[in-house]
Amino acid sequence: MMLPLARLGLIIRGTTPATITLALAVISIIPISMPNGLVVYPHLTLMSVFYWTIYRPDLMPPLAIFAIGLTQDLLTGGHLGLTPFLLLGVYASVLTQRRAFVGKPFVLTWTGFLIVLSVTSALTWFIVSILSWRLLPLPQIAAQFVTSLLLFPLLVWFFVRTHRRILPPTT
């Protein structure tokens, strides 16, 4: 029989990826001001789903991803369901390719994120443009893309440190 405190520790460790992703969904609603009056919201939630799907998919279930994406849509006032749709698409596609990333150099992971970010950004632009009946400004999308791509290594550094210190190894 497991002690209650030990059991609580396992629960906390097991929910760490989803908790971090939820926190990043909340943080991602904070705008970053750019030159020329652009305001961007980096894809922090996407970065987290991408990383944890590769390295601990057992701790990032689709239901949690859906709930986090829906929460982000509610917080941003965006098109309800778009973020869960995109995040679950990323989860499904990355899950099938995760062996290509595990144990490989970071530059390969970053390149994989570049591809996922490109597809996700294009889909977001396309879907939101259709739903709003106007083309979204490309400089805005480009600034968000570049900001997300440049922030990715910093977040991965945080994810790796968290992964090593808090989460039990996979079996």
pLDDT over 70 percentage in the chain: 95
Mean pLDDT score, 27-54: 91
Rounded distance, CA 30 to CA 25, Å? 10
DSSP three-state, residue 40: strand
CB contact at 8 A, 60 and 165: no
Q: Which residues, including other chains, have CB under 8 Å from residue 2's CB and lie 6 or more apart?
A: 10
Where are the domains positioned within the chain?
A: 13-28+39-166
Rounded distance, CA 57 to CA 51, Å? 9
Q: What is the pLDDT of residue 171?
A: 45
- Average pLDDT taken over every residue of the chain: 91
Q: What is the pLDDT of residue 13?
A: 79
The tokens describing 14, both together, are 């097991």
Mean pLDDT score, 54-80: 95
What are the pLDDT digits (tens) for 83-132? Answer: 999 999 999 999 999 999 999 999 999 999 999 999 999 999 999 999 99
CB contact at 8 A, 117 and 46: yes
Of the pLDDT bands very low, low, confident and very high (cuts 50, 70, 90), residue 169 is low
